[in-house]
Structure 1
Amino acid sequence: MLLSVLLMMAGEEDNPDIQLLRKAKNGDRDAFGELFRKYEKRVFRVARRMCGSDDEAWDITQDAFIRAMQAMDRYDTQYRFFTWIYRITTNLAINYSKKKMRRHEVHFDEAYSAEGQQVIEDNVADRAAGEQLLGAVSKAVNKLTPALKAVFVLRIDQQLSYSEIAESLDIALGTVMSRLNRARTKIREELGSMLGEWE
């Protein structure tokens, strides 16, 4: 019993948002508002990478924070808030992507074209080739399953560690590594076939 209390206290000390979280758990909307302002942009970027459009990403972002606020009484302060809100966001985006995939192809390239420098460096000599490559990468990422895309986006775009991704998605560390490897392999394979078409 004492060990679990000590571990929980140690976990809380490692949590930079602990004071805001305690207030928010007690119903302080201003404290939750501060958490929203702190993480809103990061959550939005994850949602946009997952669903591909700003409007849809804002809907997912707002829904994620609403759900977090409604579930704040069940939040365990031993976990970091950003991993919890990322889990909520990613789950919402995966569900949204699954619904959208049933209707038509997800337009992931819209999200990457807005910040294309993340995929292609500024020093690309041939702009046309760079734009083709950007399109190819976007199409390859677009073809990933929602589970693979979630891990890929959290690692590459948000630069979360493997353990943070595991915590965010509530999956094992080995599963994160496996999914990331499969995502990279599928992207490489897709790029190989696309690049072969250009020759």
Structure 2
Amino acid sequence: MSQDPTANADRFLALLRPIQRELEIYCRRLVWESQEAPDTLQNAVMRAFAAFDRYDPQASFRAWMFKILTREALVMNRKHTRIARHEFQLEPEELAALATAAEPGPPEGRPPLPEAWDDALEGRLAAGLKILTDTERAVLLLRFIGELRYREIGESLGIPLGSVMGNLWRARQKMRAFLGRFMPGHRFLKENRL
């Protein structure tokens, strides 16, 4: 990298801007608490910029950036888990039942509005992501939000290609099963979009 700090900053921003939206979406999905996403993303960008002099221009900037963001999000989730342990404990089944009970349904006899469906699906997707392991969730999100190739996912997470494929397969199976309880027979699940 160049010794000129301004040139490095310009180069870093030029590489970051095209993937910024994908990083934001990925971060919101990966962290347990959505209000933590902006801080997590900012910390990851600051870490990446601080380490930019060690970035290999021959490597994928996208994969490198997602790797840094993944690590930062997992640290935030561990912090949240430690705090949550002291609050109260619910079994996963109780938590799922509570989430389902708390969701308001459409007025009696009326079909739900499309926005309501979007909100319900959004909540269920978020709940479904929480049943995945950290690695499964990261692989799934890197593939579908980051649109990284398997090799890039492996590089980002520091795992072999076979592990990427195995984790992605398990994540898809778990998400299909989880979402299938709420949307049995939905074309989204039948068409293997997940």
Please confirm whether the aligned pair reaches a TM-score higher than 0.5, indicating the same fold. Answer: yes
Give the Å deviation of 1:133.
4.6
Equivalent position of 1:32 in the other structure = 12
Q: Which runs of 5+ in 1 are unaligned?
A: 1-21, 106-124
Give the Å deviation of 1:158.
2.3
Equivalent position of 2:179 in the other structure = 191
Give the Å deviation of 1:99.
2.0
The 3 A distance-change label for structure 1 pair 77 and 100 is: same
| Contact 1:151–1:176 (CA under 8 A) maintained in structure 2 | yes
* CA deviation map 1:38-83 (0-9, x unaligned): 3322222211111155542221221112111211222222211111
Equivalent position of 2:153 in the other structure = 165
Residue 96 of structure 1 pairs with residue 96 of structure 2: no
Greater fraction helix: 1
| Contact 1:51–1:93 (CA under 8 A) maintained in structure 2 | yes
Equivalent position of 1:148 in the other structure = 136
Give the Å deviation of 1:126.
5.1
In structure 2, give the amino acid aligned to 1:87: K
Give the Å deviation of 1:190.
2.8
In structure 2, give the amino acid aligned to 1:168: S
* Aligned-partner SS, 2:59: coil
Q: Which runs of 5+ in 2 are unaligned?
A: 86-110, 185-194
| TM-score where L is the length of structure 2 | 0.67
The 3 A distance-change label for structure 1 pair 131 and 56 is: closer
* Aligned-partner SS, 1:79: coil
Equivalent position of 1:45 in the other structure = 25
In structure 2, give the amino acid aligned to 1:188: R
Give the Å deviation of 1:163.
1.6
| Contact 1:51–1:97 (CA under 8 A) maintained in structure 2 | yes
Q: Distance in 2 between matches of 1:129 and 1:69?
A: 39
| Contact 1:98–1:146 (CA under 8 A) maintained in structure 2 | no
| Contact 1:94–1:150 (CA under 8 A) maintained in structure 2 | no
| Contact 1:94–1:147 (CA under 8 A) maintained in structure 2 | no
Q: Distance in 2 between matches of 1:64 and 1:34?
A: 16
| TM-score where L is the length of structure 1 | 0.65
Q: Equivalent pairs: percent with the same residue?
A: 35
